[in-house]
Structure 1
């Protein structure tokens, strides 16, 4: 899967309330940052992976 401009627009719209969002294409996927801190990835299969800890990570 190649990350498209539409994918990036979706991510920015979906996470608009998180903070200042930036993205960077890397390793066939997309790194998603809020206020300069990476918190999610779209991997090459198209899956969205969100960084979490505690109870959220268990879920």
Structure 2
């Protein structure tokens, strides 16, 4: 019994990047206001498009 590393790890930032790509939106252009600052869903984190979810990969 033990833990093994997995391949093709995907996190929520990657899902956000993929959805924004599908909607034709640029992650850097979609922002929202919070009480102390203006931010976006990525919160400065890198996200990659998950080609495994796309019919026509990028």
TM-score (norm 2): 0.29
Which has the greater radius of gyration? 2
Structure with the bigger percentage of helix: 2
TM-score (norm 1): 0.29
Choose between structure 1 and 2 for higher RCO, CA contacts under 8 A separated by at least 6 residues: 2
